[in-house]
Amino acid sequence: MPRAVPSYLRGYSDLYAHNPRAAALQWFRDARHGLFLHYGLYSLEGRHEWLQQREKIPVADYEKLADRFTAAGFDADAICRLALDAGMRYVNLTTRHHECFCLWDTRQTSFNSVTGAPAKRDLVAELAQSCEKHGLGLFLYYSHGRDWKHPHAPNNDTYAGAARPDYDPPEPSYAIGKAHNLNLYLDFMKAQITELLTNYGPIAGIWLDGIAVPLNHRGRGPQPSPPNSPANAPEFRCQELYNHIHALQPQTLVSYKQGLLGTEDFFAPEHKAVETGGKPGEICTTMCDRPVVSWGYLEAGRGQHKTEAEVWAVLERAAGANCNLLLNTGPLPDGSLDDEDTEVLRHVGERLRRDGFPTLSEER
């Protein structure tokens, strides 16, 4: 029986029937604009999404933030309406950031919004249902190379790239030396990504983050960026993971920032374009870049977010590089959208409907 066409790909039905991933790639090139959402325990404190690492908060102390996570203001329909109003065609949610708190009903850890917090809500499920209803593609951000909780995640003694907070004394929950087994962590991640691709309907893409860790093996030195060999960082079994993703959902696109192996479906660097070798590109940036760049909610950034003119300038820069723009807003501690950003994004959407997107180059 033919696969049902996901709602976001209904305009590409003929191509989808023959080649789902080709249809998804064409849709992605045409989409141009998406909404990024960084939401997690760090949002409760409003002091940056790298709160745990920067302030060296011990794992056991950081876990206590989950006791306050209610997500009472998280409204998937409001998120999708904002994306549509802003002229966007897809949404990307942090299913788990480097802190490793999960926004879905995962069986791999109790550190999640359903069984490990008063929210008792599966935010991925809610957003997946709303995106399908509104015809939006759903991308799922997943912190891959960088993990500040799992005992067998990459450690600082083997990997640079801010793999772990630099605790003194050492964090007792981290496995070290001969007790450390990276494969246990890789199996954990594969199981989680399998959940995301089997329990939530059509997924437009898996968006991996934390690339600095596999790129910076101590003693091996940093690798080229973007690399072009599947042999790069072989211990992370990334090509195996990419193949698994495509086997579960053939239309699902895979990215790993500016490209770890070079075999990703598209490249998604921060703030500026990279050479893509003809593959689709996506620039990600955030509405909050003052006084510092922050992807999660930042109390100190209130009143200083990007203006309509600044967002338009970023759209022009993305268009000039033949890239999509993935524009981030950090939901407030209760999960509600930041009014400072929603007003600007709706004005940008009005301009897009009136004037169209900034001019793209002829070849894309």
Q: Each residue of 19-56: pLDDT tens digit?
A: 999 999 999 999 999 999 999 999 999 999 999 999 99
pLDDT category of residue 93 using cuts at 50, 70 and 90 = very high
Q: What is the pLDDT of residues 295-311, one digit of tens each?
A: 999 999 999 999 999 99
Least-confidence region, from 71-80, 198-207, 230-239, 266-275 = 230-239
Percent of the chain with pLDDT over 70: 95
pLDDT, one tens digit per residue, over 280-299 is: 999 999 999 999 999 999 99
pLDDT band at 218 (very low <50, low <70, confident <90, very high): confident
Which has more confidence, 87 or 219? 87
Position 231 scores a pLDDT of: 57
pLDDT at 292: 97
Is a pLDDT exceeding 90 seen at residue 364?
Answer: no
| Per-residue 3-state assignment (H helix, E strand, C coil) for the chain | CCCCCCHHHHHHHHHHHHCHHHHHHHHHHHHCEEEEECCCCHHHHCECCCHHHHCCCCHHHHHHHHHHCCCCCCCHHHHHHHHHHCCCCEEEEEEECCCCCECCCCCCCCCECCCCCCCCCCHHHHHHHHHHHHCCEEEEEEECCCCCCCCCCCCCCCECCCCCCCCCCCCCCCCCHHHCCHHHHHHHHHHHHHHHHHCCCCCCEEEEECCHHHHEECCCEECCCCCCCCCCCHHHCHHHHHHHHHHHCCCCEEEECECCCCCCCCECCECCCCCCCCCCEEEEEECECCCCCECCCEHHHCCCCCCHHHHHHHHHHHHHCCEEEEEEECCCCCCCCCHHHHHHHHHHHHHHHHHCCCCCCCCC
Q: Which two tokens stand for residue 234?
A: 């072989």
Is pTM, for the whole model, over 0.85? yes
Q: Write the pLDDT tens digit of every residue in 324-336.
A: 999 999 999 999 9
Q: Tell me which CATH code domain 31-355 carries.
A: 3.20.20.80
Mean pLDDT of the chain: 95
Q: How far apart are CA 337 and CA 79, in angstroms?
A: 7
